[in-house]
């Protein structure tokens, strides 16, 4: 399960890379370590425009499943996820690298993966929904209001991620055509993107830190 990632490129690079038409994020700094329940940038398609906005990471859990935000989506056939797989509720999550934890002693080690050492931007295949309730990290004094929440799809691990985390990895979208398909195509077509990126298209780039700077 991926519960840490980085979006460490500049606001202008995100806008250019994902062909953003409207930016609603304000002053967006690089974010070298994003954790569940924090705010992060996503790209939506709204009335034919691509909009960069901020959302909070993690869907509300299904009934009787606990209280922790649901950060990853694997079983897209589940009735819990189905309403949010339509184009209007898909989004791109800008990423430069993501982390899985190696099972080392005495504590687990963050291992970072990116497309290559230069950390170009790519996207997680995200979904989003509105939700009203209490959310936010404890240190930021969680508030009760309407939140826009996002999560992202995962798939089986490839040969790069698997030795560290064999259960799953995020779905990585790396080119303009994949981004367009995820934002606009019917669900049957868009969900064909739920597959592991070939191992030769990515690499392990760092170990040991809870942030991944560029």
Report domain extents, the chain: 5-207
For the ranges 23-37, 67-81, 104-118, 131-145, which has the lowest average pLDDT?
Answer: 131-145
**Can you spell out the DSSP letters for 16-57?**
HHTT-SEE-S-S---EEEE-TTSEEEEEEEETTEEEEEEEEE
Tell me the pLDDT tens digit for each residue of 32-62.
999 999 999 999 999 999 999 999 999 999 8
pLDDT, position 139: 65
The pair of structure tokens assigned to 107 is: 């504590």
pTM of the model: 0.96
For the ranges 19-28, 142-151, 168-177, 180-189, which has the lowest average pLDDT?
Answer: 142-151
Tell me the pLDDT tens digit for each residue of 160-177.
999 999 999 999 999 999
Other beta carbons within 10 Å of 43: 27
pLDDT, position 75: 95
* CATH domain 5-207 topology: hypothetical protein yedk fold (3.90.1680)
């Amino acid at each position: 399960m991926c519960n840490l990632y980085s979006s460490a490129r500049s606001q202008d690079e995100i806008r250019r890379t994902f062909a953003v038409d409207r930016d609603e994020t304000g002053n967006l700094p690089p974010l070298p370590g994003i954790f569940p329940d924090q705010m992060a940038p996503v790209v939506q398609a709204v009335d034919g425009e691509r909009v960069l906005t901020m959302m909070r990471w993690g869907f509300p859990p299904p009934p009787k499943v606990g209280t922790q935000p649901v950060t990853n989506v694997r079983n897209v056939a589940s009735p819990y996820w189905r309403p949010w797989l339509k184009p209007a509720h898909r989004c791109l999550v800008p990423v430069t690298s993501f982390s899985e934890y190696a099972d080392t002693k005495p504590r687990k080690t963050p291992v970072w993966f990116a497309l290559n050492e230069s950390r170009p931007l790519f996207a997680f295949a995200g979904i989003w929904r509105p939700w009203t309730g209490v959310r936010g990290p404890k240190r930021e004094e969680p508030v009760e209001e309407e939140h826009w929440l996002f999560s992202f799809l995962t798939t089986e691990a490839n040969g790069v991620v698997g030795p560290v985390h064999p259960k799953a990895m995020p779905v990585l979208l790396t080119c303009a055509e994949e981004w367009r398909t995820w934002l606009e195509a019917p669900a049957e077509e868009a969900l064909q993107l739920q597959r592991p990126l070939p191992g030769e298209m990515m690499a392990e780039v760092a170990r040991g830190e809870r942030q991944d700077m560029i």
